[in-house]
Amino acid sequence: MRLFKLISILVVLFCYNCDKNKRKDDFIKERIKATSLSYQEYIEKTNIPKSFYSHFPMTIKKLPIKLYSNDDLSRDFIYVMLFEYEIDKKTMDSLSAVIKNGNIVKYSDKDLKTLVINKQNLEKKYINFVPYFETHSYDYLENVVSTKDVYSDRTKTGLSENFDIYIFNTKSKDILSDIQTLRSILKQDVKGYSRGICINTKKSILIYWFLAW
């Protein structure tokens, strides 16, 4: 009889934990769905031409994420940055392979032809541009990385040294169709734009960016 009672208690506890885990999984799925919908709505509603961030993911599949933007087209400096965390190794390896096989510029702090954009005047001698990533706090309990995993004051870009930074088709002052599109929207001169991706394989972080000035 005692054995039967013990088994019954264990069964009840097991079922309770299963139900609790299911509710937690359902809650996380709903949050991911809601976040992805909000992200897609932002992409649809922003005034920035979609060609500039065509390399961004179309949906959000995992949390947490961070989205930083200044898409006020009345400003001289606009940008969108999406941070994704805990990216699985298969995705990281696949993305790295695509980048390595493409004609894509890899940034280095020692590259004298690349300028880190930080709301400053541009000089003609530079042919590539990357953003400066301002430090944001990672003190919340939900965060899966620390501030030092992402940022560093020892690099020109503000990112930690574990990031590989890749620049996609960036040529300031080029008369390109997308630059012309942005000029017509802004109704003012556009010196250039930059877009790309940052990969931190050690911490499984991806950062997508676009900026124009």
Convert 80-133 into a string of H (helix), E (strand) and C (coil).
EEEEECCCCHHHHHHHHHHHHHCCCEECCCCCCCEEEECCCCCCCCCCEEEECC
Enclosing domain of residue 75:
48-212
Of residues 147 and 114, more confidence is placed in 147
Cα distance between residue 82 and residue 66, in whole Å: 6
* Residue that wins the pLDDT comparison between 129 and 83: 83
pLDDT digits (tens, 9 = 90+) for 150-176: 999 999 999 999 999 998 865 544 445
Same domain, 81 and 19: no
- Residue 191 pLDDT: 72
Verify that 33 and 55 share a domain, yes or no.
Answer: no
Q: Are 59 and 16 within one domain?
A: no
- With pLDDT > 70 as the criterion, what percentage of the chain qualifies? 66
Residue 73 and residue 27 share a domain:
no
Same domain, 63 and 29: no
Structural domain total, the chain? 2
